[in-house]
Structure 1
Amino acid sequence: MKITKIETLQADGGYRVCSYIKISTDEGLTGWAEFYDGFSGAMLAPLIHGFGKSAIGMDPRQYARISESLLATTRVAAGGISHQAVAAVENACLDIAAKAQGVPVHQLFGGPFRERVPVYWTHCGSYRVRHAAMYEKLGYEPVRTLDDFVRLGKEAVAQGFNAVKTNPVFFDREVPYMFNGGFRIAPGFLDRSIGDAQLQAIVDQLSALRQGIGPHAGLMLDVSFSQRPEGYMRMARRLEALNMYWLELDIRDPEALAMIRSSSRTPISSLEGIHGLQEYRPYIEKRTVDVAIIDPMWNGVWQSVRIATLADAFETHIAPHNPVGELGNLMSLHFCAAVPNVRIMELRPDEAPWTRDFVTHLPEMKDGALLVPDRPGWGADVNEDALREHPVRSA
């Protein structure tokens, strides 16, 4: 079997563009994967086509060899979006390899370790602030006060979620606004510091969400790259009374991250922004986190399983970073089924509703968990007709 063609397809996803890679073979099998284009402002699709030229003629069932071969070509500029482009090719090859054997992807790695994967509602409330116009157009009630976070917490519980994650939202202006995670150009974003008033606002927001979800549900906060160690430590200490599931943060310094973790009783999760086994190694070895976050789209599921195995050797839980739609959910679900040390899986339940039509089969949720599918490959293909019905809008 040989790869004959690599394509990228895109469609309107509401506040973002939904992006997919399609790999065709000379034996008629097709592999699909979802990727996140434009996350950093730079486009990934041209890189996928560039690396894909080297994969033409290779056997997609040899997904590990393809992944390592393409990554080897990036050694003078390793990581980042180059790694993400290779990961997209790897993931589509995994879909083909599993389909060729008539098995789900997780069985390629000896899975499943579980039939159900617990999930949490990510960006709960915060994205309804950041993308307020879209959500209001879709008929969602706007988030304007702290009382709305109480309401959203109750909504999450009513939908069966046992855990939620949000980002800081501030109400000190005429219109509520979401914080800057430290990687989007805006006034003051390079300062990476937080004041006492903002810390108290975060505590108030999380207290409102805690009121909505109840005392026993998991409560998480994601603050990305927004602080230096001093700010993260102050934040972690202020959150101790809220019995957090975790505080999620990012910093490219394993010693600093280990110091932050040891400074507070608040559990720390991190590492979603790094790529590859070598980059993860010093963070895992120095026991910098309670939960290591791994992005199977940005690393590739095969590479992610290797990273999870390293974490398992150090008795560390992992959780997938999963910032996309239904095919991405299925890819994360197979990754979670393929390794023993999963804590919980990220899920966005309030994506634009038409995006659910972009795949032929949807993951099934029951009692706060997604059921691991047993269909070949990822368990779904992309509906190209549905993509064409929702062309990408101009900016």
Structure 2
Amino acid sequence: KDPRSFEMLLLDLKRISIQSRGGIAYKAISGIELALLDIKAKALNISVVELFGGPTRENIRLYWSHCGTYRARNYELCNTPPLESLKDIYNLGKEVIEKGYTALKTNIIIPGKPAQTWGGGFAGPIGSTDGVIPKDILTHLDNQIGTFRDAVGEDIDINLDLNFHVKPESAKRIADVVEKYNLMWLEIDMYQPDALRELKDSINIPICSGENLLFMQEYLPYFQARSADIFMIDVPWMGFSQGKKVGDLAETFQFNVAPHNYYSHLSSFISASLCAVLPNIKIMEIDVDQVSWKDDLVTNVPEITDGYMKTPSGIGWGTDLNEDALKEHLWDK
């Protein structure tokens, strides 16, 4: 079939998998769609941004994501200093400023030898399924966010990501503790829009959510309930055309969106392309702490100046995978 007819091919793939909607199969379909869009744009000798009517902006504001999280888990792999004390978190905050970023996002981190991250939303031992944050972890979190704020001052935005780790009651306790640090948003995921709306109404920090939703139909009840203030869109998971539709739907409800982007440079080009064809972008996620060979995996790396990424303008996505470099770093598990 003609790969340039990406919409029809996408409909075919979705129809043959309709009885197993969502999950890994749908994410694989989204990956195919992203490749088809690259082919289509290259056939026309234009960027995907141009293919979808952009650009709407020349630069995209970024926030340093997993700030401290990767250092707590894999500082040796990322060739960064460990987080052994609050002083190390303070120094990391200063590094955010030195590298030109105007916003950061962190998770719940406990400095030490070794440092740890807290949360049982994705996995954990017996007793970690209740979604309740202990008092001592609240104290650690207060110290962590307070240290970041002391380091970066009032002009740098701070986001806190709770993922699926806590129930609304604990999320409210967290919000009450960190409210004084003037966060850009508190990020939390849950598959219950009414519960999320109740949390939003009970705290004084903007809520960001939605990174795990895949379809307009999944976002709609959250939009209708006004469950959050900012909504995440994950383009590699849902596909570009669906991401564009979700972003446009969010605009009709007067919501800003923010791409969920903690992957490769190729993903950053793809997510930035979405930012360049929507009017309602808040900010875009990007990981700064990474393995030393990340740049080798693509032909072009993002052009980032003072915490802003230049809108992709090259043919297709604006970068390609380096197949030879990929073969040198195969996952052996």
Q: TM-score range by the shorter chain?
A: over 0.9
Partner residue, 1:356 = 295
Partner residue, 1:294 = 233
Cα RMSD after superposing both structures: 1.4
Letter in 1 for 2:89: F
Which residue, out of 23, 47, 50, partners 1:104? 47
Query: The residue matched to 2:186 in structure 1 has which SS?
Result: strand
Partner residue, 1:95 = 38
Partner residue, 1:212 = 151
Partner residue, 1:198 = 137
Query: The residue matched to 1:239 in structure 2 has which SS?
Result: helix
Q: Deviations over 1:41-73 (max 9, x none)?
A: xxxxxxxxxxxxxxxx2x222222222221222
In structure 2, C-alpha distance between the alignment counterparts of 1:375 and 1:148, rounded to whole Å: 39
Q: Deviations over 1:208-259 (max 9, x none)?
A: 1111211111101111001111111221222211100111110110000111
Letter in 1 for 2:45: G
In structure 1, C-alpha distance between the alignment counterparts of 2:205 and 2:190, rounded to whole Å: 17
Partner residue, 1:75 = 18
Following superposition, the deviation at residue 111 of structure 1 comes to: 0.8
Matched, 1:307 2:246: yes
Partner residue, 1:44 = none
Partner residue, 2:110 = 170
In structure 1, C-alpha distance between the alignment counterparts of 2:117 and 2:141, rounded to whole Å: 11
Partner residue, 2:100 = 160
Partner residue, 1:368 = 307
Which residue, out of 107, 115, 124, partners 2:67? 124
Query: The residue matched to 2:92 in structure 1 has which SS?
Result: helix
In structure 1, C-alpha distance between the alignment counterparts of 2:196 and 2:310, rounded to whole Å: 34
Q: Deviations over 1:311-355 (max 9, x none)?
A: 000000000111211111111110111111000000011211212
Following superposition, the deviation at residue 102 of structure 1 comes to: 1.1
Partner residue, 1:251 = 190
In structure 2, C-alpha distance between the alignment counterparts of 1:188 and 1:297, rounded to whole Å: 33
Partner residue, 2:170 = 231
Matched, 1:277 2:220: no
Q: Deviations over 1:7-45 (max 9, x none)?
A: xxxxxxxxxxxxxxxxxxxxxxxxxxxxxxxxxxxxxxx
In structure 1, the gaps of 5 or more residues are 1-56
Query: The residue matched to 1:353 in structure 2 has which SS?
Result: coil
Partner residue, 2:121 = 182
Partner residue, 1:35 = none
In structure 1, C-alpha distance between the alignment counterparts of 2:322 and 2:114, rounded to whole Å: 38
In structure 1, C-alpha distance between the alignment counterparts of 2:82 and 2:22, rounded to whole Å: 38
1:106·1:334 contact (CA, 8 Å) conserved in 2? Answer: yes
In structure 2, C-alpha distance between the alignment counterparts of 1:78 and 1:186, rounded to whole Å: 30
In structure 2, C-alpha distance between the alignment counterparts of 1:142 and 1:174, rounded to whole Å: 8
2:213·2:219 contact (CA, 8 Å) conserved in 1? Answer: yes
1:327·1:359 contact (CA, 8 Å) conserved in 2? Answer: yes
Following superposition, the deviation at residue 174 of structure 1 comes to: 5.3
Instruction: Summarize the Cα distance change of 1:344–1:316 in structure 2 as closer, same or farther, 3 Å threshold.
Output: same
Matched, 1:338 2:281: no
In structure 1, C-alpha distance between the alignment counterparts of 2:16 and 2:170, rounded to whole Å: 38
In structure 2, C-alpha distance between the alignment counterparts of 1:68 and 1:213, rounded to whole Å: 47
Percent identity reads 37
Query: The residue matched to 2:221 in structure 1 has which SS?
Result: helix
In structure 2, C-alpha distance between the alignment counterparts of 1:176 and 1:350, rounded to whole Å: 16
2:168·2:195 contact (CA, 8 Å) conserved in 1? Answer: yes
1:181·1:224 contact (CA, 8 Å) conserved in 2? Answer: no
Task: List aligned pairs for 1:130-145, cutoff 5 A.
Answer: 130-135=73-78, 138=79, 140-145=80-85
1:325·1:351 contact (CA, 8 Å) conserved in 2? Answer: no
In structure 2, C-alpha distance between the alignment counterparts of 1:306 and 1:255, rounded to whole Å: 23
In structure 1, C-alpha distance between the alignment counterparts of 2:7 and 2:174, rounded to whole Å: 41
Which residue, out of 358, 368, 384, partners 2:323? 384
2:103·2:158 contact (CA, 8 Å) conserved in 1? Answer: yes
Partner residue, 2:87 = 147
Q: Deviations over 1:75-122 (max 9, x none)?
A: 222112122111000111111111111111111221111010000000
1:115·1:372 contact (CA, 8 Å) conserved in 2? Answer: yes
In structure 2, the gaps of 5 or more residues are none
Q: Deviations over 1:270-292 (max 9, x none)?
A: 11011111111111111111110
Task: List aligned pairs for 1:306-325, cutoff 5 A.
Answer: 306-325=245-264
Letter in 2 for 1:146: L
In structure 2, C-alpha distance between the alignment counterparts of 1:229 and 1:386, rounded to whole Å: 44
